[in-house]
C-alpha cells in the first residue's frame, strides 16, 4: 500500500503521467506484436478479436502491478540495474497473473499460450529500453562505469549510516560511487531534498525521505551518524541553513566542494571534506566563456609573476587546462615556488614549465626571462598586500608593487607580449593606506602604457578567502587556541570571493581586454567580519561569545570601515560576461590632454618616489603618493600634510 500511496502523491508530477502513458502504449504494442510474431504477420480474425477484447483489461492489470512494484517512484534519469531487476519481477508477476486469470476465466479457449510468453519478453524489453533511454539522454556525457556496480556492501553491519542532502545529479553520482566502492564504509539510508516532487521517490533503490525541516526526526528514526551535503550549486545562504540544521541535530556533516572547485565537471567522494567558511560564502558558479579564454591561452607561452602565491598558484592550475605551450613561473619565495612546481608536476601532471627564483623589480633578470622564453601572455600577480605591514614599511610597497609592475610592464611592451594583465584590489579605490595607494599607482602605470602593441589591463577585486592576506587563517588559529577571536570593529565589512572564482575571472577578463581597461569583478554583497568570525566559531563546534570570546581591537593604521569598488567620477558598464564590469573613467589621464603628457608626468613622479623609497623616507613616500593619487587619504598623523 505504501507504493500506491506514494505513487498517488507523485501524480501531481506531470512526468509520472507521461511515463504511465508511454508505458501503456508500449504494453499495447508488445501485446499486439506478440500476436503478430506468433502468426507470422497474418493474425486470424479470431486472434484479432481476442486481442481487442483482452487488451482493455490487460493494460490496467500490468500498470497496477507496476505500481505495486514501485516502478513509478523512481527518478528515471537515474535508472540502474536495481530498477531493471524490479521491472523484471513486475513483468513476470503481471504476465503470470494474466495467464492465471485467462486460465480460470476462459480455460485458454481461443487464446494461444505462446503469445503470453512472447508478450512477457517484449514488455520487459520495451519498458526497460524506455527507462534506459531516459537515463542515457540525461547522462550521455557521464561515465557509466559504475552503473552496474555491486551492492554487496548492504550485508556489512559496520557501515556508518549516512543521509545525503540533495537528490540531484551530484547526489546520484555520490550515491553511485558510495554503493560501488567496497572500500567506503558508508550505508546510505536516504536522501533529503526540499523539492516536494521528489519526496517518496527513489534513486538506485534509496528513497527521498523528506525535506530539510524533517532532518532532526529522520536522524533519530534512521540512527544517522553522518550527513553529506551534496548540493555543489547551493548558495551561501542555503549552505548556512543546512549547516544550522545539522548543528541543531548534533550530527557530523561533510560536503562536496562548490562548482567553482569542481572545474573538471566530475564529482567524486574523494572530494568530500568538512564544511568550510567558503561554503557559507558560496556564490553562483562562475560560467566561463571557455572558447575565448582558450583562444588567447592555447599554445601560448605564459608568464605568471608571484606564481607561488595564493592567486598566482591558482592561476597556474587554471591555465594548464587550456593547453599552453609553456608556463613560466616567477616568485621571490623559494618555498612557494617549489610548492607550485610540485603541484603542477605531481598533482596536475603538467611538465612544460620553467621556474625562476627572483624579484620582479630586477630589471636585468626580467629582461633575460623575456629574451629566453618570449612569453605571449603576462599575468602579473606578484605583490605585497598586507595593509599594516606595508604601512610600517612603505618602501617595500614602492619596491615590490610599483617598481615590480613598472619593470614587468616595460619588458612586456619591449619584447612585444600580446597581453599584460595586472591583478589589482578594491583598496586602490580612494585609498587610505600605502598598499592601496601603491596599487592605484600601478593601475595608472598600466593605463599610461596603453597603445604600445600590448593589450594592457588591470583587474580589480576584493578580499580572497584563504589568500595570504586573508583574515580567515588568523581566526582559525585563534579558535584552535581557545580564543579570543579579534575583530577590529563591529561594523567593518569586506567583499569576499574564493581563490578559484577570482582566478577564473582574471583569465576571463584577460580574454575580454582590448587595452587600457580596468575590469571590476562582481563581488556580491559585502560581509560583516564579525559575522564571518561567528560562522567560523560555529563550524568549529563552538558557540560564539560563550565558548569563544570575540573582542574588538579598533581599526588598524590605514584600514577602512567599508571598502569600495569604484571612486567618485568613475562609472562602470557591463561586458559580455555577467560577472565582469569595466571601468569607464573621465580621469583616465588625470585631466591631462593626452597620454604622452600623462606618461611623462607619471614617470617623473614615480622616479622621485623611488628616491624616497631608497632613503626609507616614510613621510616622503606618502607625500609623493598623495601627489600621484590625490584621493589618497594619509592616515599617519606624523606625515599628514
- What are the tens digits of pLDDT across the range 247-302? 888 788 777 655 444 444 444 544 455 555 555 555 555 566 778 888 889 999 99
Q: What is the pLDDT of residue 304?
A: 97
**611 included as an active-site residue:** no
Q: What is the pLDDT of residue 586?
A: 43
The answer, yes or no, to whether residue 4 has pLDDT greater than 50, is no
Reported as a pLDDT band with limits 50, 70 and 90, residue 523 is low
The answer, yes or no, to whether residue 528 has pLDDT greater than 50, is yes
Mean of pLDDT values over 86-98: 82
10-54 pLDDT per residue, tens: 555 667 777 788 888 888 888 888 888 888 878 888 778 878 888
Residue spans of alpha helices (H) in 334-433? 334-342, 363-373, 387-392, 394-396, 404-414
What whole-number distance in Å separates Cα of residue 25 and Cα of residue 123? 11
DSSP 641: -
Other CB atoms within a 10 A radius of the CB of residue 202 amount to 22
**Positions of CATH 3.40.50.720 in the chain:** 152-281, 290-628
Reported as a pLDDT band with limits 50, 70 and 90, residue 307 is very high
Across 101-110, 313-322, 466-475, 522-531, least confident range? 466-475
CA-based torsion, 467, 470, 476, 477: positive or negative: positive
Reported as a pLDDT band with limits 50, 70 and 90, residue 386 is confident
Bigger pLDDT: 212 vs 606: 606
Domain spanning 152-281, CATH class: alpha beta
pLDDT above 70 as % of the chain = 79
What whole-number distance in Å separates Cα of residue 583 and Cα of residue 574? 9
Cell of 123: 514488455
pTM of the model: 0.61
Helix (H, G, I), strand (E, B) or coil at 122: helix
Q: What is the pLDDT of residue 141?
A: 45
The one catalytic residue among 198, 427, 560, 624: 427
Mean of pLDDT values over 156-171: 78
Residue spans of alpha helices (H) in 255-386? 277-281, 290-297, 310-319, 334-342, 363-373
Q: What is the pLDDT of residue 251?
A: 81
199-239 pLDDT per residue, tens: 888 887 788 888 888 888 888 888 888 888 887 767 767 77
Q: What is the pLDDT of residue 264?
A: 42
The answer, yes or no, to whether residue 9 has pLDDT greater than 50, is no
Q: What is the pLDDT of residue 57?
A: 86
Question: Do 340 and 313 form a contact (C-beta atoms < 8 A)?
Answer: yes
Mean pLDDT of the chain: 80
Fold exhibited by the domain 290-628: Rossmann fold (3.40.50)
Q: Cα 317 to chain center, whole Å?
A: 15
* Strongest mean pLDDT among 139-143, 144-148, 387-391: 387-391
Amino acid at each position: 500500500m505504501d507504493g500506491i500511496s506514494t505513487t498517488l502523491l507523485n501524480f501531481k508530477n506531470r512526468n509520472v503521467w507521461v511515463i504511465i502513458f508511454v508505458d501503456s502504449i508500449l504494453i499495447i504494442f508488445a501485446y499486439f506484436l506478440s500476436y503478430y510474431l506468433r502468426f507470422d504477420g497474418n493474425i486470424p480474425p479470431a486472434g484479432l478479436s481476442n486481442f481487442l477484447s483482452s487488451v482493455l483489461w490487460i493494460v490496467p492489470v500490468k500498470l497496477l502491478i507496476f505500481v505495486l512494484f514501485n516502478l513509478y517512484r523512481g527518478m528515471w534519469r537515474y535508472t540502474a540495474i536495481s530498477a531493471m531487476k524490479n521491472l523484471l519481477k513486475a513483468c513476470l508477476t503481471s504476465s503470470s497473473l494474466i495467464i492465471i486469470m485467462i486460465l480460470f476465466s476462459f480455460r485458454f479457449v481461443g487464446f494461444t499460450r505462446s503469445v503470453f510468453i512472447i508478450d512477457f519478453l517484449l514488455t520487459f524489453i520495451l519498458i526497460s529500453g524506455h527507462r534506459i533511454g531516459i537515463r542515457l539522454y540525461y547522462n550521455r556525457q557521464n561515465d557509466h562505469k559504475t552503473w552496474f556496480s555491486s551492492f554487496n556492501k548492504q550485508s556489512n553491519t559496520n557501515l556508518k549510516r549516512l543521509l545525503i542532502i540533495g537528490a540531484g545529479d551530484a547526489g546520484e553520482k555520490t550515491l553511485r560511487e558510495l554503493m560501488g566502492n567496497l572500500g567506503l564504509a558508508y550505508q546510505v539510508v536516504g536522501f533529503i531534498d526540499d523539492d516536494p516532487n521528489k519526496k517518496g521517490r527513489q534513486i538506485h533503490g534509496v528513497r527521498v525521505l523528506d525535506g530539510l525541516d524533517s532532518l532532526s526526526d529522520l536522524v533519530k528514526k534512521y540512527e544517522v551518524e553522518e550527513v553529506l551535503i551534496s548540493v555543489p550549486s547551493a548558495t551561501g545562504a542555503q549552505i548556512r541553513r543546512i549547516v544550522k540544521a545539522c548543528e541543531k541535530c548534533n550530527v557530523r556533516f561533510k560536503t562536496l566542494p562548490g562548482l567553482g572547485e569542481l572545474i573538471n565537471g566530475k564529482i567524486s567522494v574523494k572530494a568530500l571534506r568538512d564544511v568550510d567558511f567558503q561554503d557559507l560564502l558560496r556564490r553562483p558558479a562562475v560560467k566561463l566563456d571557455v572558447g575565448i579564454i582558450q583562444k588567447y591561452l592555447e599554445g601560448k607561452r605564459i608568464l605568471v609573476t608571484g606564481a607561488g602565491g595564493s592567486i598566482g598558484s591558482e592561476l597556474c592550475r587554471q591555465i594548464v587546462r587550456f593547453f599552453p605551450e609553456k608556463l613560466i613561473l616567477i616568485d621571490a619565495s623559494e618555498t612557494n615556488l617549489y610548492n607550485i612546481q610540485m603541484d603542477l608536476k605531481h598533482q596536475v601532471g603538467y611538465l612544460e614549465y620553467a621556474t625562476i627564483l627572483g624579484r620582479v623589480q630586477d630589471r636585468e633578470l626580467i629582461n633575460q626571462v623575456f629574451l629566453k622564453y618570449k612569453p605571449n601572455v603576462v599575468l602579473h600577480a606578484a605583490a605585497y598586500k598586507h595593509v599594516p605591514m606595508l604601512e610600517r614599511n612603505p618602501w617595500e610597497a614602492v619596491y615590490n608593487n610599483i617598481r615590480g609592475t613598472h619593470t614587468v610592464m616595460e619588458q612586456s611592451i619591449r619584447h612585444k607580449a600580446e597581453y599584460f594583465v595586472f591583478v589589482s584590489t578594491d583598496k586602490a579605490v580612494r585609498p587610505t593606506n600605502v598598499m592601496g595607494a601603491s596599487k592605484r599607482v600601478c593601475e595608472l602605470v598600466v593605463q599610461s602604457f596603453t597603445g604600445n602593441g600590448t593589450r594592457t589591463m588591470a583587474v580589480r577585486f576584493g578580499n580572497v578567502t584563504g589568500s595570504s592576506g586573508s583574515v580567515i587563517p588568523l581566526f582559525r588559529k585563534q579558535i584552535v587556541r581557545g580564543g579570543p577571536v579579534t575583530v577590529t570593529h563591529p561594523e567593518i565589512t569586506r567583499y569576499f570571493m574564493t581563490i578559484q572564482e577570482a582566478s577564473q575571472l582574471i583569465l576571463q577578463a584577460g580574454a575580454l581586454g582590448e587595452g587600457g581597461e580596468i575590469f571590476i569583478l562582481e563581488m556580491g554583497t559585502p560581509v560583516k567580519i564579525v559575522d564571518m568570525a561567528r560562522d567560523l566559531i560555529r563550524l568549529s563546534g563552538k558557540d560564539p561569545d560563550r565558548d569563544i570570546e570575540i573582542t574588538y581591537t579598533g581599526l588598524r593604521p590605514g584600514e577602512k570601515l567599508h571598502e569600495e569598488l569604484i571612486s567618485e567620477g568613475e562609472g562602470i558598464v557591463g561586458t559580455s560576461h555577467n560577472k565582469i564590469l569595466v571601468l569607464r573613467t573621465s580621469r583616465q589621464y588625470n585631466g591631462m590632454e593626452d597620454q604622452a603628457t600623462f606618461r611623462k608626468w607619471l614617470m617623473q613622479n614615480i622616479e622621485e618616489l623611488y628616491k624616497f623609497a631608497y632613503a626609507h623616507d616614510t613621510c616622503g613616500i606618502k607625500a609623493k603618493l598623495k601627489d600621484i593619487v590625490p584621493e589618497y587619504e594619509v592616515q599617519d598623523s606624523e606625515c599628514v600634510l
